Amino acid sequence: MRKVLIVGAGQAGLMLALGLQSRGYEVTVVSDRTAEEIRTGRVLSTQCMFGKALAHERDLGLNLWDDRAPRVDGLGVSVAGPDGSRPIDWVGHLDAPAQSVDQRVKMAAWLDLFTGRGGNLVVHPVSVSDLDWYAGRYDLVLLAAGKGPLAGMFDRDPARSPYDKPMRSLAVAYVEGLAPRPEHDFPAVRCNLVPGVGELFVMPALTLSGPCDIFFFEGVPGGPLDAFQGVREPEAHLELTLALMKQFVPWEYERAANGVQLADEGATLAGRYAPTVRKPVVELASGGLVLGVADVVVANDPITGQGSNNAAKCAAGYLAAIEARGTQPFDRAWMEQTFEDFWSVVAPVTKWTNAMLAPPPPHVLNLLGAAGQLQPVADRFANGFDEPADFESWFYAEEKANAYLASH
């Protein structure tokens, strides 16, 4: 029985652990927190997952919240005008529903499932020397703790990383009591673009207490939405969020003005990081190798909501590659090829995400405007969140965009 060590208990690490466990591997997960500590901690992300990523969860029988999580049937875009109006405002229909499940709920449940099935859980912060010790005792060591300091062991790939600093300041609040949206009758993620200032996403989700909504600001550094550093108290975080909504997206504030409250004491999060693609393999002092997983090696800005989707796709790809390897060694060549196969899936995600961080060129503004008049354009844009590779054929190049619009 081959022995696999996975450091990190997030979307990719636990999907991979549970998948390998179901296939007879001896799996150890190292986490810096217990399931209960995850469950009672701060929120971790916004994690809206689309059809293809959710299918990977279902393939492993890990879709434990389909009957409870609010359906997300569409994705809409509003562009704020200088007078508080919305010159662009539309909603596209998703071909397959999306969902957002608070990772405190999901990861705690998956960790309990892993240990309940006999998996070995080690609760301990991991150092580089720990990894060196583990590498001599396992057939394969995987690092899936993307936001931790160990990710810094992996060298940045400058050819695939156009940004070397954070491009947005991030602020999240899970709330209850948001009034229903009046202008459409199906649940959707709404992306509100404020030119030169940033973005506000509003999405339905499932949290510890049940259905909720998530406010997610992406602020241009140094701008008015870049205001959450130093805000420690959750209520102060919410108060600032509402004030900024009132100023920049008053149509969203109208829904929140009466009775919105935080879902719990851990319902806020703020931070920033530079979008980075890293080299996938680290060689330790002993000669042992570590393969990076998901956002350890491909950390995109969350402006396109792809982090959990990439993680699920990474887990599915790595699982297939490990199983196909049989009894052959997990050497550097295999690790690098396994990552390249993952990169072929997420390279379109990275291209699209990096494009969305830059000011939109005129032809993209034309596309966004046309989506308000042409439902097929709105629907195609929405479904690009599930299959970002589709943007290549109609979104980036002006001539392709013009030809696509002319076809309608």
Choose the final residue of a domain: 238, 271, 304: 271
Angle at 69 (CA atoms; ends 100, 29), nearest 5 degrees: 60
Nearest of 56, 48, 71 to residue 14 by alpha carbon: 56
- Tens of pLDDT, residues 283-314: 999 999 999 999 999 999 999 999 999 999 99
Domain that holds residue 369: 361-406
Confirm whether 67 is domain-assigned: no
**Mean pLDDT of all residues in 81-92:** 92
User: Both 187 and 254 in a single domain?
Assistant: yes
Specify the length of the chain in residues. 408
Nearest of 324, 321, 326, 347 to residue 142 by alpha carbon: 321
User: Both 351 and 365 in a single domain?
Assistant: no
Distance in angstroms (rounded) separating the CA atoms of residues 145 and 126: 10
In order of 50, 186, 232, 243, 287, the CA distances from 76 in angstroms are 14, 11, 31, 23, 50
- Tens of pLDDT, residues 34-55: 999 999 999 999 999 999 999 9
User: Both 113 and 21 in a single domain?
Assistant: yes
Choose the final residue of a domain: 247, 271, 295: 271
User: Both 84 and 199 in a single domain?
Assistant: yes
Distance in angstroms (rounded) separating the CA atoms of residues 323 and 53: 20
Tell me if residue 172 falls in helix, strand or coil. strand
**Mean pLDDT of all residues in 201-219:** 97
Distance in angstroms (rounded) separating the CA atoms of residues 16 and 13: 5
Exposure of 319 by Cβ count < 10 A (0-12 exposed, 13-18 middle, 19+ buried)? buried
- Tens of pLDDT, residues 220-229: 999 999 999 9
Share of the chain above pLDDT 90, in %: 95
Confirm whether 246 is domain-assigned: yes
Task: Let me know: does 9 contact 33? Beta carbons within 8 Å.
Answer: yes
User: Both 145 and 179 in a single domain?
Assistant: no
Share of the chain above pLDDT 70, in %: 99
Confirm whether 158 is domain-assigned: yes
pLDDT at 141 over 70: yes
Nearest of 219, 222, 271 to residue 248 by alpha carbon: 219
pLDDT, residue 280, reads 98
Tell me the CA end-to-end span of the chain in Å, nearest whole number.
57
User: Both 350 and 262 in a single domain?
Assistant: no
Choose the final residue of a domain: 356, 374, 391: 356
**Mean pLDDT of all residues in 323-350:** 98
- Tens of pLDDT, residues 393-406: 999 999 999 999 99
pLDDT at 183 over 70: no
pLDDT-derived band at 319, boundaries 50, 70, 90: very high
Lowest mean pLDDT among 113-127, 180-194, 209-223, 363-377: 180-194
Query: What integer best gives the mean pLDDT of the chain?
Result: 96
Confirm whether 29 is domain-assigned: yes
Which of 1 and 364 is assigned the larger pLDDT?
364
Lowest mean pLDDT among 149-153, 271-275, 382-386: 149-153
pLDDT-derived band at 266, boundaries 50, 70, 90: very high
User: Both 279 and 209 in a single domain?
Assistant: no
Lowest mean pLDDT among 21-25, 92-96, 184-188: 184-188
pLDDT-derived band at 231, boundaries 50, 70, 90: very high
Torsional sign, CA 2, 61, 317, 33: negative
User: Both 44 and 171 in a single domain?
Assistant: no
Residue 226 sits in a domain whose CATH number is 3.30.9.40
User: Both 182 and 289 in a single domain?
Assistant: no
User: Both 285 and 380 in a single domain?
Assistant: no
User: Both 26 and 58 in a single domain?
Assistant: yes
Q: What is the pTM of this model?
A: 0.96
User: Both 214 and 299 in a single domain?
Assistant: no
pLDDT, residue 184, reads 58
pLDDT at 349 over 80: yes
Q: How many domains does the chain have?
A: 3
pLDDT, residue 146, reads 76
Residue 350 sits in a domain whose CATH number is 3.50.50.60
